[in-house]
Structure 1
Amino acid sequence: MLIDVHQIDDLACGAAFLGSGGGGDPYYGTLLAKAAIERLGPIPLLPLADLDDDALVVPCGWIGAPTVSVEKLPNGREAVDGLRKLEEIMGRKIGAVMPIEIGGGNGLAHLIAAAELGLPVADADGMGRAFPESQMAIFNICGLSACPSVITGADGSLRVIDTPDNLEHERIARAISIEMGGIAHMVEYPLTGRQAKDHAIAGSFSAAIAAGAAIRQARAQKADPIAALAGALAKSGLYPFCDVLIDGKIVDLQRETRDGFSVGRVIVSALTGDRTLEIEFQNENLCARERDGTVRAMVPDLISILDRETADTITTERLAFGQRVKVVAAAAPARLRESHALTLVGPAAFGFSETYVPVEILNNWENAAVV
């Protein structure tokens, strides 16, 4: 399969939803990816099974506060420079790249480098969604090292991190991204093809394309785009449940950039009835609660806020008072719900006191996604 310009908009739409509000707005990545493909040609998309076991497979993406990325644009060379430096460090050529997270702009961040370097993209990612910290990748959950990693900035600066502890790696990388202006590109968790097959979230890249295509086709047919989205996600086998939590408008918003993250909360009031839903976020939407404190969804399950007319996902840095929205939740990939994974990506990892309960149980969804 080849990734061409016609699939980029679908990818951006689907990745925005899978970002759970984070991963960065995909708009600039869409423009850069289209330009690269138009200039250099389509990019091969490989199933994990097609990777050689000894190939060097490299995840990459942006680190920092999405609020900064709205004003501080990339130069388009960050990923290329980081990957070339990693090849120099490891003394071998890269065989394929993949997004560290499929969510938001990070679902497209690697495409420019893939086109420039003539590399295929592995149909997988490291999170199955977006998370705010790099140690929340499935590769860390499975005991793999993030290092050596390379961070590059828009001004051409470059730093190499090599530490045996992945949490320390996140802290160092976060500090460097702040020094580089609040956002930077990072190449991390270099893998063998065998490790990618064993540990990456397989099929997430093509799932994002399918989700975006379903929304586009539903719009054209004047059908329900969220129902179409749910069906496409279920067919992927990764996200079996998806439905609307509330249909309303944003009546309150608090947001600030702090310690390299965009953090805050947003309150959505139902258009009919007396319900409200409060959503807390740290780059990504983390927990959705009713006025009385009843939880409707929590990490690692996805919570995305969509424009109620177009079904376009609104990332946390672009939320605004008065927007009319639908809050949509989806079940996370099963591997993120395992007990060991939950210690790193579940509610407790973000300081919440609640024990994780799957979104379909919290909302009594038996057939939320109709295939």
Structure 2
Amino acid sequence: MREITADHLPDLARGAAVLGTGGGGDPFVGRLLAEQALKRNGPVTLLGLDEIDDAAFIVPTAFMGAPTVMLEKLPSGDEITGAMRALEELLGRKATHTVSIEAGGLNSMSPFVAAAEAGVPLIDADGMGRAFPELQMLLPTLGGVQASPMALADERGNSVTLRTDGNAWAERLARAATVEMGCSAAVSLYALTGRQAKDHLVPGTLTLCERVGRAIREAREGHEDPVAAASGVLGGRTVFTGKIGDVQRTTTGGFARGTARLTGLDADTGSALELSFQNENLVATRDGEVVVSVPDLICVLDTDSGEPVTTETLRYGLRVSVLGVPCDPRWRTPEGLALAGPGYFGYAHEYVPFRGAEV
């Protein structure tokens, strides 16, 4: 158990955006929301999964929608508490804890808002070990945990509660509601017992985010390579270093979809790379060959500063390094690949597990 203050948030947000694989929302916006909540309510207690009781009632929170929209339609933070309270009212129980459903710059920070406002501890874990674009793409889904009952809330004070027939329907109906709410909304779903959290969440996510963010900062301050520092913490490997030459991006169906094409600056990592994304980076193709693919992590960092680059901030001329990082082993099972592998997203290539740095 430890207390998280506003001083911890910059490193946490930076590392969360790296693990978010280009998605999960803007880290700066998430950090500001969390800082405001902590200043109003005091520090948040962070607990490990081994510190919670099996009978705990855990209500996760997150933002849903297109990250490109959230750069212009900034959240206030009230959406998160609105969604959490709507779900508590529907279920007739108050949360004893909250947790993030995914790693991401905004979605690893928004649970700090829920924890601070509700006065409950935050669990050091998440449901993916990264970020994915769709609500059913959580490890609890593989364990048979239902996403619904669930609640959504927007900045106008609107809230919607849903009961769905399976987690794929939760995604479809919640996505439609989110589009009507302006392509971004807060969501509270996957209510868990402490036992379910221990069985199905990824432990230590927020601690890992902080370690990654701190490694980048300290490397930069020490005039060392921040990309190598992040890669070392994650057990990843640089697969490309280059300059962004073209970005094609559209916002459709509540997602930011597109491609980015990079020109190589390092002969050792190839001459050209194409990134395909749907909120998150999904596939990296180097000189015509797939080198990293979902469910493994594709993390884009500014080569000089090590700052993570989200898909909504990809732009012409930016010099970046692309890291591949192995995913949680549960995503590599047949069930995990069916839920979030390349075939689900319509790619024809066979998944080949990415090998990180040699130990």
TM range, smaller chain = over 0.9
Amino acid at match of 2:60: P
TM-score if structure 2 supplies the norm length? 0.97
Deviation at 1:366, TM superposition (A): 5.2
Return the alpha-carbon distance in structure 2 between the equivalents of residues 203 and 304 of structure 1.
19
Q: 1:236 corresponds to which residue?
A: none
Q: 1:278 corresponds to which residue?
A: 274
Q: Does 2:299 align with 1:298?
A: no
Q: 1:197 corresponds to which residue?
A: 198
* Correspondent of 2:352 among 334, 357, 362: 357
Matches within 5 A, 1:1-371: 1-233=2-234, 241-273=235-267, 275-291=271-287, 293-360=288-355, 367=358
Amino acid at match of 2:289: T
Return the alpha-carbon distance in structure 2 between the equivalents of residues 366 and 110 of structure 1.
31
Return the alpha-carbon distance in structure 2 between the equivalents of residues 187 and 43 of structure 1.
19
Q: Is the Cα contact below 8 Å between 2:47 and 2:121 reproduced in 1?
A: yes
Amino acid at match of 2:154: G
Q: Is the Cα contact below 8 Å between 1:145 and 1:164 reproduced in 2?
A: no
In structure 2, runs of 5+ residues without a counterpart are: none
Return the alpha-carbon distance in structure 2 between the equivalents of residues 358 and 160 of structure 1.
38
Classify the secondary structure of the residue corresponding to 2:262. strand
Classify the secondary structure of the residue corresponding to 2:182. coil
CA deviations over 1:170-206 (Å, ceiling 9, x no partner)? 0000000000001111001000111001111111111
Return the alpha-carbon distance in structure 2 between the equivalents of residues 118 and 231 of structure 1.
35
Q: How many residues align?
A: 356
Classify the secondary structure of the residue corresponding to 2:110. coil
User: Mean Cα displacement is larger for which, 10-19 or 274-283?
Assistant: 274-283
Q: Is the Cα contact below 8 Å between 1:15 and 1:104 reproduced in 2?
A: yes
Classify the secondary structure of the residue corresponding to 1:268. strand
RMSD: 1.2
- 4+ residue stretches of structure 1 with deviation over 3 A? none
Return the alpha-carbon distance in structure 2 between the equivalents of residues 286 and 190 of structure 1.
28
Q: Is the Cα contact below 8 Å between 1:286 and 1:298 reproduced in 2?
A: yes
Return the alpha-carbon distance in structure 2 between the equivalents of residues 67 and 130 of structure 1.
16
Deviation at 1:122, TM superposition (A): 0.5
Classify the secondary structure of the residue corresponding to 2:98. strand
Classify the secondary structure of the residue corresponding to 1:336. helix
Return the alpha-carbon distance in structure 2 between the equivalents of residues 108 and 136 of structure 1.
19
Return the alpha-carbon distance in structure 1 between the equivalents of residues 271 and 261 of structure 2.
10
Classify the secondary structure of the residue corresponding to 1:245. strand
Return the alpha-carbon distance in structure 2 between the equivalents of residues 32 and 75 of structure 1.
7
Q: 1:248 to 1:289 in 2, by over 3 A?
A: same
Deviation at 1:271, TM superposition (A): 1.5
CA deviations over 1:306-348 (Å, ceiling 9, x no partner)? 1111011110011111111111111111122222111101111
Return the alpha-carbon distance in structure 1 between the equivalents of residues 73 and 343 of structure 2.
32
Amino acid at match of 2:316: F
Classify the secondary structure of the residue corresponding to 1:106. coil
Amino acid at match of 2:314: L
Amino acid at match of 1:285: N
Give percent identity, aligned residues only: 45
Classify the secondary structure of the residue corresponding to 1:39. helix
Deviation at 1:162, TM superposition (A): 0.5
Q: Is the Cα contact below 8 Å between 2:246 and 2:260 reproduced in 1?
A: yes
Return the alpha-carbon distance in structure 2 between the equivalents of residues 313 and 366 of structure 1.
20
Classify the secondary structure of the residue corresponding to 1:347. coil
Q: 1:237 corresponds to which residue?
A: none
Deviation at 1:272, TM superposition (A): 4.1
Amino acid at match of 2:281: N
Return the alpha-carbon distance in structure 2 between the equivalents of residues 60 and 36 of structure 1.
15
TM-score if structure 1 supplies the norm length? 0.94
Classify the secondary structure of the residue corresponding to 1:107. coil
Return the alpha-carbon distance in structure 2 between the equivalents of residues 61 and 34 of structure 1.
16
